[in-house]
Amino acid sequence: MKKFLFILTIFFAQFVVAQTSSKYNVPPKIKTQHPIPKGPSVYGIFEGRPPCNAIEKQMGLPVRPECTKVKWRITFFRNPVTNEPTTYELLGSLLPPNGKWIVTKGIPSDPNAEVIHMNPDIPGKSFYLLKGDENVLFVLDEKKEFRIGGSYLSYTLNRVELIPSDPGQ
């Protein structure tokens, strides 16, 4: 029995190591017809399809029952010399299409967590994203708490690499 448990432990340990490895954690390539921002001023491009209604409510917009999800592509820009956050551009709805962003620290469950604060200078239009790692952002509510998605939609944005849908682009 001890031998069996040892072998079982070794077997599962391989999967734990494989899941934490960043070797395979690379952004997917996504085709686009839009201009592709490039260069050292681009911090990252993130996409996701979060549920609509809770975000409508947070942003002070009318809640529409027919709105089940919103498709977002957010490009974050930074100063290419200092790497300090500067502006963002959003393809999607519910949030302002462009604005400022900063990085702050802390959420109720983790005072050291890195948080992207969008529109810190516009009351009622601020929005928070928790940096999970370099490739994943979690949509937070107005109290910097996690939002809970479901099996169909999630409050997660993933870094993507954009490629032209037309190779001659």
Give residue 53's Cα distance to chain centre.
18
92 within 8 A of 48, measured Cβ to Cβ: no
Q: Is 23 helix (H, G, I), strand (E, B) or coil?
A: coil
Type of residue found at 66: E
**Other Cβ atoms closer than 10 A to 102:** 14
C-alpha radius of gyration, the chain, whole number? 19
The model's pTM: 0.81
Q: What is the mean pLDDT of the chain?
A: 85
Cα(145)–Cα(115) distance, rounded to whole angstroms?
11
Q: Which residues pair with 161 in a beta bridge?
A: 29
Residue 15's pLDDT is: 40
The pair of structure tokens assigned to 61 is 């917009």
Residue (of 157, 119, 107) closest to 135 by Cα position: 157
- Which tokens go with 167? 């190779």
Residue with tokens 């996504």: 30
**Lowest model confidence (mean pLDDT) among 21-30, 35-44, 72-81, 137-146:** 21-30
pLDDT at residue 41 above 70? yes
